[in-house]
Amino acid sequence: MTGRLVTIGSKGGPALRKGGALPTSSLLQLGSALAVIDCGLGVTRGLVEAGVDLRHLPQVFITHLHSDHVLELGALLHTAWTTGLRRPVTVFGPPGLAEYWAGFMASMAFDTALRVADEGRAPLEDLVTLQVIEPGTVLNDGNLCVSALRVDHPPVTDCFALRFEGAGRRVTFSADTAPFEPLAGFARGSDVLVHEAMLPDAVERIVAATGMGDALRAHLHASHTPAAEAARLAGRAAVRRLVLHHLIPADDPDVTEEDWRAAVAGIWDGDITIARDGLQLIF
Protein backbone atom coordinates (compact mmCIF):
# COMPACT_ATOMS: atom_id res chain seq x y z
CA MET A 1 0.00 0.00 0.00
CA THR A 2 1.41 3.38 -0.97
CA GLY A 3 -1.33 5.84 -0.14
CA ARG A 4 -4.38 5.59 2.11
CA LEU A 5 -6.95 8.20 3.04
CA VAL A 6 -9.71 7.66 5.60
CA THR A 7 -12.37 10.35 5.85
CA ILE A 8 -13.24 9.76 9.50
CA GLY A 9 -15.76 12.59 9.84
CA SER A 10 -17.17 14.01 6.64
CA LYS A 11 -19.54 16.85 7.49
CA GLY A 12 -18.95 20.57 7.53
CA GLY A 13 -20.05 22.35 10.70
CA PRO A 14 -20.17 21.21 14.33
CA ALA A 15 -23.86 20.27 14.70
CA LEU A 16 -24.79 16.62 15.18
CA ARG A 17 -28.08 15.09 14.06
CA LYS A 18 -29.54 11.59 14.23
CA GLY A 19 -28.20 9.45 11.40
CA GLY A 20 -25.95 12.25 10.21
CA ALA A 21 -22.21 12.39 9.65
CA LEU A 22 -19.53 13.46 12.13
CA PRO A 23 -17.60 16.74 11.87
CA THR A 24 -14.33 16.85 9.97
CA SER A 25 -11.31 14.65 10.52
CA SER A 26 -9.10 12.48 8.30
CA LEU A 27 -6.27 9.98 8.47
CA LEU A 28 -3.63 10.03 5.74
CA GLN A 29 -0.94 7.43 5.15
CA LEU A 30 1.83 7.90 2.57
CA GLY A 31 4.22 4.95 2.71
CA SER A 32 5.21 4.65 6.36
CA ALA A 33 4.23 8.23 7.23
CA LEU A 34 0.92 8.82 9.00
CA ALA A 35 -0.91 12.06 9.72
CA VAL A 36 -4.19 13.06 11.31
CA ILE A 37 -5.78 16.07 9.62
CA ASP A 38 -8.28 17.97 11.77
CA CYS A 39 -9.93 16.73 14.96
CA GLY A 40 -13.67 17.24 14.83
CA LEU A 41 -15.93 15.35 17.22
CA GLY A 42 -15.49 11.58 16.81
CA VAL A 43 -11.87 11.60 15.65
CA THR A 44 -10.59 9.39 18.49
CA ARG A 45 -13.06 6.57 17.90
CA GLY A 46 -12.62 6.92 14.14
CA LEU A 47 -8.84 6.58 14.33
CA VAL A 48 -9.13 3.43 16.43
CA GLU A 49 -11.63 1.96 13.97
CA ALA A 50 -9.22 2.84 11.13
CA GLY A 51 -6.59 0.71 12.83
CA VAL A 52 -4.51 3.35 14.60
CA ASP A 53 -2.99 2.23 17.92
CA LEU A 54 -3.38 5.28 20.13
CA ARG A 55 -0.14 4.39 21.92
CA HIS A 56 1.52 5.36 18.65
CA LEU A 57 -0.65 8.35 17.81
CA PRO A 58 0.75 9.97 14.65
CA GLN A 59 1.42 13.65 14.15
CA VAL A 60 -1.64 15.89 13.98
CA PHE A 61 -2.38 18.83 11.70
CA ILE A 62 -5.14 21.35 12.47
CA THR A 63 -6.14 23.51 9.49
CA HIS A 64 -7.89 26.19 11.60
CA LEU A 65 -9.56 26.65 14.95
CA HIS A 66 -13.25 26.33 14.01
CA SER A 67 -14.75 23.81 16.42
CA ASP A 68 -15.70 21.32 13.68
CA HIS A 69 -11.93 20.94 13.12
CA VAL A 70 -10.47 21.15 16.63
CA LEU A 71 -13.10 20.31 19.27
CA GLU A 72 -11.76 16.80 20.00
CA LEU A 73 -8.02 17.51 19.75
CA GLY A 74 -7.57 17.69 23.53
CA ALA A 75 -9.70 14.59 24.10
CA LEU A 76 -7.71 12.70 21.44
CA LEU A 77 -4.37 13.53 23.04
CA HIS A 78 -5.68 12.78 26.53
CA THR A 79 -7.19 9.45 25.44
CA ALA A 80 -3.95 8.47 23.68
CA TRP A 81 -2.12 9.28 26.94
CA THR A 82 -4.42 7.12 29.05
CA THR A 83 -4.12 4.35 26.42
CA GLY A 84 -0.37 4.27 26.94
CA LEU A 85 1.19 6.91 24.70
CA ARG A 86 4.88 7.21 25.44
CA ARG A 87 6.34 8.77 22.30
CA PRO A 88 5.95 12.56 21.96
CA VAL A 89 3.36 13.76 19.44
CA THR A 90 3.73 16.95 17.41
CA VAL A 91 0.59 18.96 16.75
CA PHE A 92 0.85 21.48 13.92
CA GLY A 93 -1.78 24.20 13.90
CA PRO A 94 -2.55 27.87 13.44
CA PRO A 95 -1.70 30.66 15.88
CA GLY A 96 -3.98 30.23 18.89
CA LEU A 97 -3.28 26.50 19.16
CA ALA A 98 -1.23 27.05 22.34
CA GLU A 99 -4.14 28.88 23.98
CA TYR A 100 -6.51 26.03 23.06
CA TRP A 101 -4.13 23.46 24.53
CA ALA A 102 -3.48 25.48 27.70
CA GLY A 103 -7.23 25.84 28.18
CA PHE A 104 -7.83 22.12 27.69
CA MET A 105 -5.06 21.21 30.12
CA ALA A 106 -6.45 23.68 32.67
CA SER A 107 -9.89 22.10 32.35
CA MET A 108 -8.43 18.64 33.01
CA ALA A 109 -5.93 19.61 35.74
CA PHE A 110 -7.65 17.52 38.43
CA ASP A 111 -7.59 14.35 36.34
CA THR A 112 -4.12 14.72 34.84
CA ALA A 113 -2.46 15.53 38.17
CA LEU A 114 -4.23 12.57 39.76
CA ARG A 115 -3.11 10.14 37.05
CA VAL A 116 0.50 11.27 37.31
CA ALA A 117 0.47 10.83 41.11
CA ASP A 118 -1.80 7.79 41.31
CA GLU A 119 -0.83 5.82 38.19
CA GLY A 120 2.77 6.91 37.77
CA ARG A 121 2.22 8.31 34.28
CA ALA A 122 4.59 10.80 32.67
CA PRO A 123 2.97 14.26 32.57
CA LEU A 124 0.79 14.65 29.47
CA GLU A 125 2.29 18.05 28.66
CA ASP A 126 5.72 16.41 28.25
CA LEU A 127 4.34 14.23 25.42
CA VAL A 128 2.87 17.02 23.30
CA THR A 129 4.85 19.47 21.16
CA LEU A 130 3.04 22.31 19.44
CA GLN A 131 4.24 23.85 16.21
CA VAL A 132 2.62 26.88 14.63
CA ILE A 133 1.79 26.59 10.92
CA GLU A 134 2.94 29.42 8.68
CA PRO A 135 2.64 29.57 4.88
CA GLY A 136 5.36 27.57 3.14
CA THR A 137 7.12 24.46 4.33
CA VAL A 138 5.64 23.10 7.55
CA LEU A 139 7.62 19.87 7.81
CA ASN A 140 10.25 18.04 5.80
CA ASP A 141 11.64 15.03 7.63
CA GLY A 142 12.76 12.99 4.63
CA ASN A 143 9.70 10.76 4.86
CA LEU A 144 7.06 13.40 4.51
CA CYS A 145 7.04 16.96 3.20
CA VAL A 146 4.13 19.17 4.25
CA SER A 147 3.42 22.63 2.87
CA ALA A 148 0.78 25.20 3.82
CA LEU A 149 -1.15 27.81 1.86
CA ARG A 150 -3.31 30.44 3.55
CA VAL A 151 -6.82 30.17 2.07
CA ASP A 152 -9.91 32.39 2.00
CA HIS A 153 -12.18 31.54 4.95
CA PRO A 154 -13.49 34.79 6.42
CA PRO A 155 -13.63 35.85 9.17
CA VAL A 156 -10.88 33.32 10.02
CA THR A 157 -7.54 34.56 8.68
CA ASP A 158 -5.36 31.69 9.89
CA CYS A 159 -6.79 28.82 7.84
CA PHE A 160 -4.36 26.68 5.87
CA ALA A 161 -4.65 24.30 2.95
CA LEU A 162 -2.08 21.53 3.41
CA ARG A 163 -0.14 19.56 0.81
CA PHE A 164 1.42 16.24 1.82
CA GLU A 165 4.15 14.61 -0.27
CA GLY A 166 5.75 11.28 0.46
CA ALA A 167 6.31 7.79 -0.97
CA GLY A 168 5.89 9.22 -4.47
CA ARG A 169 2.38 10.51 -3.73
CA ARG A 170 0.95 14.02 -3.34
CA VAL A 171 -2.29 14.78 -1.51
CA THR A 172 -3.74 18.27 -0.99
CA PHE A 173 -6.43 19.26 1.52
CA SER A 174 -8.24 22.52 0.76
CA ALA A 175 -9.23 23.13 4.39
CA ASP A 176 -12.28 25.42 4.66
CA THR A 177 -12.27 28.02 1.93
CA ALA A 178 -14.34 30.03 -0.48
CA PRO A 179 -13.35 29.36 -4.11
CA PHE A 180 -9.65 30.25 -4.08
CA GLU A 181 -7.71 30.27 -7.33
CA PRO A 182 -4.17 29.98 -5.83
CA LEU A 183 -5.22 26.58 -4.55
CA ALA A 184 -5.11 25.27 -8.13
CA GLY A 185 -1.38 25.96 -8.38
CA PHE A 186 -0.76 24.70 -4.86
CA ALA A 187 -2.57 21.41 -5.57
CA ARG A 188 -1.19 20.97 -9.09
CA GLY A 189 -0.52 17.36 -10.03
CA SER A 190 -1.87 15.94 -6.76
CA ASP A 191 -2.88 12.30 -6.76
CA VAL A 192 -5.79 13.32 -4.55
CA LEU A 193 -7.37 16.72 -3.93
CA VAL A 194 -9.55 16.66 -0.82
CA HIS A 195 -11.75 19.71 -1.25
CA GLU A 196 -14.57 21.01 0.91
CA ALA A 197 -17.92 21.21 -0.86
CA MET A 198 -21.32 22.78 -0.46
CA LEU A 199 -24.60 22.20 -2.33
CA PRO A 200 -26.02 25.72 -2.77
CA ASP A 201 -29.55 24.37 -3.36
CA ALA A 202 -29.54 22.78 0.09
CA VAL A 203 -28.22 25.81 1.96
CA GLU A 204 -31.70 27.29 2.35
CA ARG A 205 -32.87 24.11 4.09
CA ILE A 206 -29.89 24.33 6.49
CA VAL A 207 -30.69 27.95 7.24
CA ALA A 208 -34.31 26.98 7.96
CA ALA A 209 -33.30 23.98 10.14
CA THR A 210 -30.93 25.99 12.33
CA GLY A 211 -33.11 29.09 12.53
CA MET A 212 -29.99 31.22 12.21
CA GLY A 213 -31.19 33.13 9.17
CA ASP A 214 -29.19 35.69 7.25
CA ALA A 215 -25.96 35.48 9.28
CA LEU A 216 -25.53 31.76 8.58
CA ARG A 217 -26.52 32.14 4.92
CA ALA A 218 -23.99 34.94 4.48
CA HIS A 219 -21.22 32.95 6.23
CA LEU A 220 -21.80 29.85 4.11
CA HIS A 221 -21.70 31.76 0.83
CA ALA A 222 -18.69 33.93 1.80
CA SER A 223 -16.54 31.21 3.34
CA HIS A 224 -17.25 27.92 1.56
CA THR A 225 -17.08 26.46 -1.95
CA PRO A 226 -19.96 25.14 -4.07
CA ALA A 227 -19.25 21.62 -5.32
CA ALA A 228 -19.20 22.87 -8.92
CA GLU A 229 -16.41 25.35 -8.07
CA ALA A 230 -14.39 22.63 -6.33
CA ALA A 231 -14.75 20.59 -9.53
CA ARG A 232 -13.57 23.48 -11.71
CA LEU A 233 -10.53 23.96 -9.48
CA ALA A 234 -9.72 20.23 -9.60
CA GLY A 235 -9.69 20.48 -13.39
CA ARG A 236 -7.38 23.50 -13.40
CA ALA A 237 -5.09 21.76 -10.90
CA ALA A 238 -5.00 18.63 -13.09
CA VAL A 239 -5.35 16.32 -10.10
CA ARG A 240 -5.92 12.60 -10.51
CA ARG A 241 -8.85 12.26 -8.11
CA LEU A 242 -11.22 14.71 -6.44
CA VAL A 243 -12.58 13.88 -3.00
CA LEU A 244 -15.50 16.04 -1.89
CA HIS A 245 -15.21 16.34 1.89
CA HIS A 246 -16.52 18.60 4.69
CA LEU A 247 -19.92 18.28 3.02
CA ILE A 248 -22.54 20.95 3.54
CA PRO A 249 -25.04 19.42 4.04
CA ALA A 250 -24.04 15.94 5.22
CA ASP A 251 -27.15 15.12 7.21
CA ASP A 252 -30.02 16.12 4.96
CA PRO A 253 -31.98 12.93 4.13
CA ASP A 254 -33.06 14.57 0.87
CA VAL A 255 -29.43 14.83 -0.32
CA THR A 256 -27.79 11.68 -1.67
CA GLU A 257 -24.43 10.88 -3.25
CA GLU A 258 -26.14 11.26 -6.63
CA ASP A 259 -26.87 14.92 -5.86
CA TRP A 260 -23.16 15.57 -5.32
CA ARG A 261 -22.27 13.77 -8.53
CA ALA A 262 -24.95 15.72 -10.39
CA ALA A 263 -23.50 18.99 -9.04
CA VAL A 264 -20.15 18.34 -10.74
CA ALA A 265 -21.49 16.60 -13.89
CA GLY A 266 -20.16 18.21 -17.04
CA ILE A 267 -17.44 20.04 -15.09
CA TRP A 268 -15.30 17.23 -13.70
CA ASP A 269 -15.25 13.88 -15.50
CA GLY A 270 -12.22 12.43 -13.71
CA ASP A 271 -12.22 10.10 -10.74
CA ILE A 272 -14.29 11.34 -7.83
CA THR A 273 -15.10 10.18 -4.30
CA ILE A 274 -17.90 11.61 -2.17
CA ALA A 275 -16.69 11.38 1.43
CA ARG A 276 -18.63 9.59 4.13
CA ASP A 277 -17.63 8.70 7.67
CA GLY A 278 -15.05 5.92 7.74
CA LEU A 279 -14.63 5.75 3.96
CA GLN A 280 -11.19 4.43 2.97
CA LEU A 281 -9.45 5.26 -0.29
CA ILE A 282 -6.33 3.43 -1.44
CA PHE A 283 -4.24 5.09 -4.13
**Nearer to Zn ion (CB atom), residue 68 or residue 229:** 68
Q: Label each residue of 197-224 as H, E or C.
A: EECHHHHHHHHHHHCCHHHHHHHHHHHC
> What is the closest distance, in whole angstroms, from the C-beta atom of residue 215 to Zn ion in the complex?
15
- Could you tell me which stretch among 65-73, 143-151, 202-210, 264-272 binds Zn ion (CB under 5 A)? 65-73
- Could you tell me which stretch among 4-12, 26-34, 108-116, 254-262 binds Zn ion (CB under 5 A)? 4-12
Beta strands 136-140; 241-248: pairing state: unpaired
Consecutive H or E run containing 267: none
> What is the closest distance, in whole angstroms, from the C-beta atom of residue 151 to Zn ion in the complex?
10
Tell me if 176 contacts Zn ion by CB under 5 A.
yes
**Nearer to Zn ion (CB atom), residue 142 or residue 155:** 155
> What is the closest distance, in whole angstroms, from the C-beta atom of residue 64 to Zn ion in the complex?
6
Residues 6+ apart with CB under 8 A from 51: none
How far apart (Å, rounded) are the C-alpha atoms in residues 244 and 246? Answer: 7
Residue 173's beta-bridge partner residues?
A: 162, 194
**What's the length of the chain?**
283
**Nearer to Zn ion (CB atom), residue 3 or residue 94:** 94
Which residue, among 175, 101, 105, has the nearest Cα to 138 in the 3D structure?
Answer: 175
Tell me if 68 contacts Zn ion by CB under 5 A.
yes
- Could you tell me which stretch among 77-85, 136-144, 175-183, 185-193 binds Zn ion (CB under 5 A)? 175-183
**Nearer to Zn ion (CB atom), residue 68 or residue 165:** 68
Tell me if 66 contacts Zn ion by CB under 5 A.
yes
> What is the closest distance, in whole angstroms, from the C-beta atom of residue 77 to Zn ion in the complex?
20
**Nearer to Zn ion (CB atom), residue 66 or residue 241:** 66
**Nearer to Zn ion (CB atom), residue 39 or residue 52:** 39
> What is the closest distance, in whole angstroms, from the C-beta atom of residue 161 to Zn ion in the complex?
12
Q: Is the dihedral of CA 228, 272, 42, 133 positive or negative?
A: negative
> What is the closest distance, in whole angstroms, from the C-beta atom of residue 265 to Zn ion in the complex?
25
Q: Do 28 and 5 contact (CB within 8 A), yes or no?
A: yes
End-to-end Cα spacing for the chain: 8
Consecutive H or E run containing 256: none
Chain residues that interact with Zn ion, rule: CB under 5 A: 12, 66, 68, 176
